[in-house]
């Protein structure tokens, strides 16, 4: 904390000299620092907040170690009046008097009918390319500059705008419709002391609302009272964060007793301004002269559903667009693909090229005018003076300088398609096509959850082919997050003989009450020895087992629900709770005959081997990440008081009294080690009998703490610390979190493809490592470096050591490799959350500094900074170290740290990162990474909502990256280069012609052909190839994961390829232009005929060029390419039969001569020969992997078909269904 506060104050001091944008963020901090102690509250953070917190708020703690108590005390200080919202209970008039709070109507639609056109256009013109084309279209409207027909110049842009506007309009219409439905839903609102139905949109802040069971909450409310006498309400937050289990919320005792219909409630709630943190709420309530503080457990949020509670009363505090659900609704920020970013760089080159062309034309034109300045007046084809008016005037001559300027502008208009507008549209279409195939891929369909692959972001498809780092969540992503009780160590004895039971052999434990059978919903495999022990009550062992299972059944927050089945005599008991581990434990207890039947806030009922026992729950110390344990104080039927504690081994052994039963403790520890090395999640269970005096002492302090106004949490924790001491160990449980199908194979393939896999998990180190082994993330060949420190200095030191070791290892292995040819030594880094806290904390300081110095610095510059300030270099060390490691395992990581790690690697390594996760805790990471993938699994939809792509299983990552990602990348890179080439060839042909028209930009090619060129003549083939062409088959790509490296190394799109393409373009344009020019030099050919020849020559050229690069010819490809050529002929003919155009009948004249066809044929071959030759020489002498693999495919196919009549292609099998 010391270093932290130092840095904080240092930051404050610097504040005065900081640039404005920093100061802004620091002034925001004062309001948002309130949130910071909700350290688990990460799921709802938007990426904005995440980056904000990472970037400039040193008071954030990623971990929760230490310092919490101080912060708690300070956090309960007064909320500033100016920062607060005042809500007068049941007095909406007064509440809204001073300042009108948002009503409860929501508007997710962006536009209204009036604002649609201007706003939509405004948004569309955020694309710089569109502005460029708009400017050009406007320029073309000026009479002096009208190069093209006015209609022809506007058409393409208008078309694009129209299509996008229609799409946006339709989407918005759908949003409006759903808003309407939402707004007109009804709720019961207290009006004049009576509950009346009111539409949602009319509800106001300050009103009291009554919600019945299974109803959806209309706005964010503070709970006043519920049907439960203790003020508990259960809510389901599926719509909000996707978690399907029930959560408990509490009404304050002060309001619980009141009935607003009979007695008027009045009071004042002072709460923070609306924010999007769904796990945080900070307020206090003044009622009956008392002040009560309110926290996140007192508020129920819009979108949640009330469950298991027949009614609840709440007071509206945030409504409509200010509810946390709506504030979180803004969706993921749009990401831009790396290819597109690079493409923009080349677009700038093309713009420079364009300017150069225009400059050449205009300067030459100036020179021409200069040379002929004496002749201009009467020169037949210029005629500077207009004699038709009585007064002799200059006709359209604006002087030398202006003429040059106009020619420049005109040439920009003529050469405009140098910047390919059609490329943007083609890219959108191609991405839609690619997304279609990804969604429809039945190899990425998961039968168990019946879910397909989902593309949520449409503009980063090709990034999937360039991933270098994969950051994966563990629970629910690598594993199924279906917790299964595996074995237990009770009283120092290991019971792990459980056999998997088949359905009919044993039905599990069930309970008969009044002719009805109750049975737990989930079956658990049982150890027969333990089962028989659990039935003995009177042996020592039996009692021990008994206590153990009581602890499992009681020490939790699980709510049992009875579910009807189709058989009226059979009822299933469904255990609902926040933690899947607890669920598994309760199901296990039930299987051994300790069935939890009922839970209220005051007592629980456990059916023990057929006997109903009622235990009073006198107190419950909730789990917190600091203690890492929870405890419950039970008043047992035999009037004794017991405290049961369960928690993580690290903290449990601190509070277990080893002297009591040292052998058992030792044995338990051994078993724990055994379990966790198997990859099981372990919990230690302990208990203690409380003597009457101890109990009373606890009770009084507990009462005092739980009614305290200030620092309640800290006080409660202190009480918990006092009572959770000198426990006797009961045993330990082990829960298996099963690996998902295909995970080890998937991870191995990812590693083979040169992708660095990082697993970020909240599990403890041993568990993480064992999961690492079972998922083949770690192999025995790897050298493990473990960083596990408590302070910054030691952390730094161990990083340094690790780096040294790492360097030694790599040089060693270099040496050995040279000698023996052995494989490169792989290094795995295992680092824990605590160390990361220290590392990432410095990251914060550093980021502030970086922003302060310049906006960004390269790594080398950072290194130079770190010489001056050694404390800064620590995360650089982590980066250096981790970039040397093939595998990194981060354990005990808090959600925000996940995002921090991703940000670190993303910014430092400048490589593509992918984050995959399934839970609300992965949201920040998913949004931070270049590509975020959500697993639509157990934990609901929060991750999916934030993700760019969503799928059901981790293993689908392999086909997604290796097959679709690779294809997408190859297709998109080729398409961009091809589009550059395609437009540049055309522009250059226009340019060459301009040199022969005394630089006046007459075009031989008609206006309409210029416009249709990138719309009809050449558009379809590139889209078809961009969607359909496959450089390699799926089988090959999956067989050689290394082929993925082409994307990582950016082999298909880079600066070199761009320049090669431009050189090729130059040659092809020269061939296409000069062959007809020289063949027709000095002949009687007219402009339109020659223009038609050039048009057709260029179109055939670019289409054949494309055809040369197509790898797989489908009938669609054939249709598109040859169809485009045919369409061009048809269009040219159609243009030439319009008698009002100057080129009337030109095509038919010139196409009747043999010279025309000889030129066409000659151009095509002459232009493409260099490309062809370069291509074959590269393929033959410097083949890349893709080329070899393609040949391999071909060779193997022919070999197979020669060998036998084996069905070589699985698609000839009966169609799969």
499 known member of a binding site: no
Q: Is 583 exposed, middle or buried (0-12, 13-18, 19+ CB in 10 A)?
A: buried
Per-residue x/- mask for another protein, residues 319 to 358, rule CB under 8 A? ----------------------------------------
Segment 409-438, which members bind another protein (CB under 8 A)?
436-437
* Distance in Å, CB of 968 to another protein, minimum: 12
The DSSP code sequence of 800-851 is HHHHHHHHHHHHHHHHHHHHH-PPPPPEEEEEEHHHHHHHHHHHHHHHHHHH
The residue among 573 and 1096 lying less far from another protein, judged by its C-beta, is 1096
SS (H, E, C) 545-569: HHHHHHHHHHCCCCEEEEEECCCCC
921 known member of a binding site: yes
Q: Establish if 375 lies at the interface with another protein (CB under 8 A).
A: yes
Q: Establish if 748 lies at the interface with another protein (CB under 8 A).
A: no
The residue among 605 and 1141 lying less far from another protein, judged by its C-beta, is 1141
- The two most distant CA atoms of the chain are separated, in Å, by 129
Per-residue x/- mask for another protein, residues 1052 to 1081, rule CB under 8 A? -----------------------x-xxxxx
Half-sphere exposure of 292 (CA within 13 A, CB side): 23
Residue 810, C-beta contacts closer than 8 angstroms, at least 6 positions apart: 825, 884
303 known member of a binding site: no
Segment 914-953, which members bind another protein (CB under 8 A)?
none
Q: Establish if 1035 lies at the interface with another protein (CB under 8 A).
A: no
The rounded distance, in Å, linking the Cα atoms of 475 and 917 is 8
Q: Which residue from 541, 544, 543, 545 is spatially nearest to 526, judged by alpha carbons?
A: 545
**Where does this chain touch another protein (CB under 8 A) — which range of 89-97, 580-588, 1112-1120, 1126-1134?**
1112-1120
Tally Cβ neighbours within 10 Å of residue 391. 6
Q: Establish if 405 lies at the interface with another protein (CB under 8 A).
A: no
**Where does this chain touch another protein (CB under 8 A) — which range of 226-234, 532-540, 564-572, 1142-1150?**
1142-1150
* Distance in Å, CB of 1100 to another protein, minimum: 16
Q: Establish if 812 lies at the interface with another protein (CB under 8 A).
A: no
Q: Are 525 and 490 in contact (CB under 8 A)?
A: no
Contacts from 774-777 at CB under 8 Å and sequence distance 24+?
A: 774/679, 774/739, 774/744, 775/478, 775/739, 775/743, 775/744, 775/747, 776/744, 776/745, 776/747, 776/748, 777/747, 777/828, 777/887, 777/889
Catalytic residue among 463, 473, 841, 1092: 473
The DSSP code sequence of 21-87 is HHHHHHHHHHHHGGGGG-TTTTTT--HHHHHHHHHH-TT--SS--S-HHHHHHHHTSPPPTTTEEEE
Q: Establish if 451 lies at the interface with another protein (CB under 8 A).
A: yes
**Where does this chain touch another protein (CB under 8 A) — which range of 96-104, 119-127, 441-449, 612-620?**
441-449
Q: Establish if 1181 lies at the interface with another protein (CB under 8 A).
A: yes
Rounded-to-10 torsion of CA 861, 862, 865, 869? -170
Query: Any idea what the Cα angle at residue 1118 is, between residues 1113 and 1119, rounded to 5°?
Result: 145
Rounded-to-10 torsion of CA 395, 396, 397, 401? 170
Kindly report the backbone phi and psi dihedral angles of residue 8, in degrees, each rounded to the nearest multiple of 5, phi listed first. -65, -50
* Distance in Å, CB of 650 to another protein, minimum: 43
Q: Establish if 186 lies at the interface with another protein (CB under 8 A).
A: no
Segment 1197-1216, which members bind another protein (CB under 8 A)?
1209, 1211, 1215-1216
Segment 209-268, which members bind another protein (CB under 8 A)?
none
* Distance in Å, CB of 1155 to another protein, minimum: 5
The rounded distance, in Å, linking the Cα atoms of 337 and 458 is 10
Per-residue x/- mask for another protein, residues 1011 to 1030, rule CB under 8 A? -----------------x-x
475 known member of a binding site: yes
Per-residue x/- mask for another protein, residues 268 to 307, rule CB under 8 A? ----------------------------------------
Taking CA atoms, 1115 is separated from 224, 1120, 1197, in Å, by: 68, 9, 21
Q: Establish if 452 lies at the interface with another protein (CB under 8 A).
A: yes
48 known member of a binding site: no
Task: Compute how many residues bind another protein; rule: CB under 8 A.
Answer: 107
Per-residue x/- mask for another protein, residues 1154 to 1173, rule CB under 8 A? xx--xx--x--xx--x--xx
The residue among 868 and 1115 lying less far from another protein, judged by its C-beta, is 1115
Q: Establish if 116 lies at the interface with another protein (CB under 8 A).
A: no
Helix spans in 995-1044 (H): 1007-1012, 1019-1028, 1034-1039
Active site residue 689: no
**Where does this chain touch another protein (CB under 8 A) — which range of 74-82, 163-171, 1009-1017, 1177-1185?**
1177-1185
The residue among 289 and 1210 lying less far from another protein, judged by its C-beta, is 1210
* Distance in Å, CB of 395 to another protein, minimum: 4
SS (H, E, C) 415-449: CHHHCCHHHHHHHHHHHHHHHHHHHHCHHHCECCC
Segment 383-402, which members bind another protein (CB under 8 A)?
383, 385-390, 395-396
Q: Which residue from 466, 467, 468, 470 is spatially nearest to 1054, judged by alpha carbons?
A: 466
The residue among 894 and 1024 lying less far from another protein, judged by its C-beta, is 1024
DSSP-derived letter for residue 632 is E
Q: Is 788 exposed, middle or buried (0-12, 13-18, 19+ CB in 10 A)?
A: middle
Q: Is 574 exposed, middle or buried (0-12, 13-18, 19+ CB in 10 A)?
A: middle
Q: Establish if 1191 lies at the interface with another protein (CB under 8 A).
A: yes
The residue among 421 and 1163 lying less far from another protein, judged by its C-beta, is 1163
**Where does this chain touch another protein (CB under 8 A) — which range of 285-293, 571-579, 925-933, 1194-1202?**
1194-1202
What are the residue numbers of the active site?
473
Binding residues: 473-475, 582, 623, 646, 681, 761-763, 892, 898, 918, 921-922
């Amino acid at each position: 904390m010391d270093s932290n506060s130092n840095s904080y104050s240092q930051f404050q001091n610097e504040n005065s000299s900081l640039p404005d944008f920093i100061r802004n963020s620091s002034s925001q901090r004062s309001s948002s620092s309130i949130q910071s102690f909700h350290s688990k509250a990460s799921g709802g953070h938007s990426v904005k907040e995440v980056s904000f917190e990472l970037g400039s708020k040193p008071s954030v703690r990623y971990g929760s170690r230490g310092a919490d108590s101080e912060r708690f005390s300070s956090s309960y200080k007064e909320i500033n009046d100016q920062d607060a919202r005042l809500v007068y209970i049941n007095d909406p008039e007064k509440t809204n008097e001073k300042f009108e709070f948002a009503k409860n109507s929501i508007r997710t639609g962006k536009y209204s009918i009036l604002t649609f056109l201007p706003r939509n256009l405004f948004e569309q013109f955020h694309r710089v390319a569109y502005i460029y084309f708009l400017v050009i279209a406007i320029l073309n409207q000026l009479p002096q500059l009208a190069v093209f027909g006015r209609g022809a110049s506007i058409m393409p842009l208008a078309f694009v705008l129209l299509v996008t506007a229609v799409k946006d309009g339709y989407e918005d219409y759908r949003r409006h419709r759903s808003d309407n439905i939402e707004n007109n839903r009804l709720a019961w609102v207290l009006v004049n002391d009576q509950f009346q139905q009111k539409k949602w949109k009319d509800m106001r802040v300050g009103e009291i609302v009554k919600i019945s069971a299974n109803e959806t909450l209309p706005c964010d409310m503070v709970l006043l009272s519920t049907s439960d006498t203790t003020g508990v309400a259960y809510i389901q937050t599926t719509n909000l964060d996707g978690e399907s289990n029930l959560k408990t919320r509490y009404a304050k005792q002060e309001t619980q007793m009141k009935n607003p219909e009979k007695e008027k409630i009045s009071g004042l709630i002072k709460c923070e301004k609306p924010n999007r943190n769904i796990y945080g709420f900070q307020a206090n309530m003044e009622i009956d002269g008392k002040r009560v503080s309110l926290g996140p457990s007192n508020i129920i949020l819009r979108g949640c559903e009330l469950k298991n509670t027949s009614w609840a009363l709440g007071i509206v505090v945030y409504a409509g667009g200010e509810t946390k659900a709506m504030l979180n609704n803004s969706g993921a920020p749009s990401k831009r693909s790396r290819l597109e970013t690079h493409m923009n760089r080349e677009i700038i080159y093309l713009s420079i090229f364009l300017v150069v062309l225009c400059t050449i034309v205009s300067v030459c034109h100036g020179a021409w005018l200069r040379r002929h300045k004496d002749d201009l007046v009467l020169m037949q084809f210029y005629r500077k003076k207009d004699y038709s008016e009585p007064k002799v005037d200059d006709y359209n001559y604006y002087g030398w300088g202006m003429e040059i300027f106009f020619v420049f502008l005109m040439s920009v208009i003529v050469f405009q398609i140098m910047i390919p507008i059609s490329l943007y549209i083609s890219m959108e279409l191609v991405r839609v096509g690619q997304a279609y195939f990804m969604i429809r891929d039945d190899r990425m369909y998961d039968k168990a959850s019946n879910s397909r692959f989902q593309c949520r972001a449409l503009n980063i498809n090709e990034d999937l082919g360039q991933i270098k780092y994969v950051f994966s969540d563990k629970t629910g992503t690598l594993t199924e997050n279906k917790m299964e009780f595996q074995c237990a160590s009770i009283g120092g004895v290991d019971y792990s003989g459980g056999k998997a039971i088949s359905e009919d052999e044993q039905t599990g434990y069930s309970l008969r009450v009044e002719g009805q059978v109750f049975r737990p919903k989930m079956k658990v495999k049982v150890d027969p020895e333990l089962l028989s022990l659990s039935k003995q009550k009177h042996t020592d062992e039996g009692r021990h087992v008994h206590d153990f299972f009581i602890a499992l059944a009681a020490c939790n927050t699980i709510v049992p629900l009875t579910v009807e089945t189709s058989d009226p005599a059979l009822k299933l008991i469904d255990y609902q709770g926040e933690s899947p581990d607890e669920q598994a434990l309760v199901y296990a207890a039930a299987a051994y005959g300790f069935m939890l039947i009922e839970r209220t806030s005051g007592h629980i009922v456990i059916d023990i081997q057929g006997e109903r026992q009622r235990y009073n729950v006198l107190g419950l110390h909730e789990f917190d990440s600091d203690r890492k344990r929870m405890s419950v104080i039970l008043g047992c039927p035999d009037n004794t008081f017991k405290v049961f504690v369960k928690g993580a081994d690290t903290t449990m052994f601190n509070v277990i009294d080893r002297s009591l039963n040292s052998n058992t403790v030792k044995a338990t520890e051994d078993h724990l080690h055994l379990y966790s090395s198997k990859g099981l999640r372990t919990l230690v269970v302990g208990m203690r009998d409380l003597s009457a005096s101890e109990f009373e002492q606890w009770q009084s302090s507990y009462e005092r703490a739980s009614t305290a106004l200030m620092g309640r949490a800290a006080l409660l924790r202190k009480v918990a610390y006092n009572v959770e001491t000198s426990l006797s160990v009961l045993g330990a449980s082990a829960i298996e979190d099963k690996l998902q199908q295909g995970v080890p194979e998937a991870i191995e393939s990812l590693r083979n493809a040169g992708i660095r896999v990082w697993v970020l998990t909240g599990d403890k180190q041993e568990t993480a490592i064992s999961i690492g082994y079972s998922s083949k993330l770690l192999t025995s060949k790897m050298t493990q470096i473990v960083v596990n420190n408590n302070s910054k200095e030691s952390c730094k030191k161990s990083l340094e050591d690790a780096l040294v070791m790492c360097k030694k290892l790599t040089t060693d292995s270099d040496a050995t490799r040279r000698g023996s040819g052995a494989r490169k030594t792989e290094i795995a880094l295992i680092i824990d959350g605590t160390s990361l806290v220290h590392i990432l904390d410095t990251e914060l300081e550093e980021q502030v500094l970086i922003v302060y110095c310049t906006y960004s610095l390269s790594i080398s510059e950072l290194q130079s900074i770190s010489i001056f300030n050694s404390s800064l270099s620590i995360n650089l060390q982590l980066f250096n170290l981790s970039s040397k490691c093939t595998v990194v395992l981060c354990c005990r990581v808090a959600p925000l740290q996940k995002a921090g790690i991703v940000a670190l690697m993303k910014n430092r390594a400048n490589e593509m990162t992918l984050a995959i996760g399934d839970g609300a805790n992965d949201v920040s990471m998913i949004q931070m990474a270049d590509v975020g993938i959500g697993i639509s699994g157990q934990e609901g939809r929060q991750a999916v909502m934030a993700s760019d792509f969503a799928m059901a299983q981790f293993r689908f990552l392999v086909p997604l990256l290796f097959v679709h990602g690779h294809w997408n990348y190859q297709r998109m890179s080729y398409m961009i280069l091809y589009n550059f080439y395609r437009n540049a060839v055309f522009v250059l042909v226009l340019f060459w012609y301009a040199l022969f028209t005394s630089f006046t930009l007459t075009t031989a090619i008609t206006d309409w052909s210029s416009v249709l060129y990138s719309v009809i003549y050449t558009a379809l083939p590139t889209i078809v190839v961009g969607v359909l062409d496959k450089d390699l088959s799926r089988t090959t790509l999956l067989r050689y994961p290394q082929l993925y490296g082409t994307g990582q190394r950016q082999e298909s799109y880079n600066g070199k390829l761009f320049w090669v393409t431009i050189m090729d373009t130059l040659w092809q344009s020269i061939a296409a232009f000069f062959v007809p020019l020289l063949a027709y030099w000095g002949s009687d050919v007219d402009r339109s005929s020659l223009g038609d020849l050039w048009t057709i020559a260029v179109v055939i050229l670019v289409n054949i060029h494309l055809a040369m690069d197509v790898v797989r010819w489908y009938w669609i490809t054939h249709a598109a390419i040859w169809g485009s050529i045919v369409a061009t002929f048809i269009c040219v003919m159609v243009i030439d039969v319009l008698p009002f155009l100057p080129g009337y009948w030109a095509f038919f004249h010139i196409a009747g001569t043999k010279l025309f066809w000889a030129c066409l044929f000659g151009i095509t071959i002459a232009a493409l020969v260099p490309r062809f030759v370069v291509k074959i020489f590269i393929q033959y002498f410097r083949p890349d992997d893709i080329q070899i693999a393609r040949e391999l495919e071909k060779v193997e196919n022919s070999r197979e078909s020669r060998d036998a009549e084996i069905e070589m292609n699985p698609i000839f099998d009966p169609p799969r269904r």
